[in-house]
């Protein structure tokens, strides 16, 4: 089992280009697994972890409702935002500047074959990271992601998640609001959940800007511990 994960920070990159890149990496792992099975080989499958920040974009998961986007095509253009229907789970979400997006493209057979556990570990890596900033957060039953104020009238989401998996290979991932312009979330019903707010780490800490490189380092530390993995820059 290969527990080394190749880390790539793509910087600010167009959503569609990144999606296509993810698909290429994902397909490469799946094809290698098929070849191993067909030819009775034991070639090592790679794992990847992509960090990226996207220009403003709204994405709708395969089970989502397009009515949760509250903008017309012209209004999207006016805001300099784009919209894509994509092949992950979940409903609608927003990606944009000031948000740390992580796409783990893993062969879970290198770690464990349990999608539920995988999602919980993604959440836990974010929860542990936020706790280092003194932020009390956790899970909301039936709602994937990381929340603050669960069970109160002030419940608010700080990290959205949605994944795709096939043959135990994952893609898509999480989006953690760190220094985000929360006004963009007013144009959607986030994750299709009415009546609950969205927040960002800088807002919760009462500061203008949080060091995103520091947040990334903390996420990687907790991710590596949970998955018993090592990261290698590529």
Write out the catalytic residue numbers: 191
Q: 3-state SS string over 38-57?
A: HHCCCCCCCCEEEEEECCCE
Q: Encoding tokens for residue 196?
A: 């609950």
Would you say 194 is a known binding-site residue? no
Would you say 90 is a known binding-site residue? yes
Spatial distance between the Cα atoms of 196 and 181, rounded to a whole number of angstroms: 17
Would you say 229 is a known binding-site residue? no
Would you say 89 is a known binding-site residue? yes
Neighbours of 116 (CB within 10 A): 7
Would you say 95 is a known binding-site residue? yes
Would you say 125 is a known binding-site residue? no
Q: Encoding tokens for residue 49?
A: 């972890």
Would you say 151 is a known binding-site residue? no
Would you say 192 is a known binding-site residue? no
Q: C-alpha dihedral over 22, 49, 129, 214, to 10 degrees?
A: -100
Are the C-beta atoms of 36 and 59 separated by less than 8 Å?
Answer: no
User: Which residues fall in the annotated binding site for substrate?
Assistant: 88-95, 160-162, 173-175
User: Which residues fall in the annotated binding site?
Assistant: 88-95, 160-162, 173-175
């Amino acid at each position: 089992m290969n527990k080394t994960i190749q880390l790539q920070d793509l910087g600010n990159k167009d959503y569609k280009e990144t999606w296509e890149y993810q698909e290429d990496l994902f397909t490469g792992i799946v094809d290698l697994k098929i070849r191993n099975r067909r030819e009775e080989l034991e070639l090592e499958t790679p794992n990847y972890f992509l960090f990226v920040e996207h220009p403003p974009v709204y994405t709708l998961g395969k089970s989502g409702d397009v009515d949760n986007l509250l903008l017309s095509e012209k209004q999207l253009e006016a805001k300099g935002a784009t919209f894509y229907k994509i092949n992950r789970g979940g409903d609608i979400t927003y990606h944009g500047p000031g948000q740390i997006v992580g796409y783990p493209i893993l062969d879970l057979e290198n770690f464990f074959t349990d999608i539920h556990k995988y999602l919980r570990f993604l959440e836990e890596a974010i929860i542990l990271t936020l706790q280092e900033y003194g932020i009390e957060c956790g899970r909301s039953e039936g709602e994937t992601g990381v929340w603050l104020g669960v069970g109160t009238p002030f419940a608010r989401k700080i990290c959205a998640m949605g994944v795709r998996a096939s043959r135990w290979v994952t893609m898509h991932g999480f989006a953690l609001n760190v220094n985000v312009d929360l006004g963009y979330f007013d144009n959607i019903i986030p994750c299709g959940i009415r009546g609950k707010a969205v927040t960002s780490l800088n807002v919760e800490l009462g500061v203008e800007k949080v060091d995103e490189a520091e947040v990334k380092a903390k996420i990687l530390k907790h991710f590596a511990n949970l998955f018993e993995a090592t990261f290698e820059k590529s």
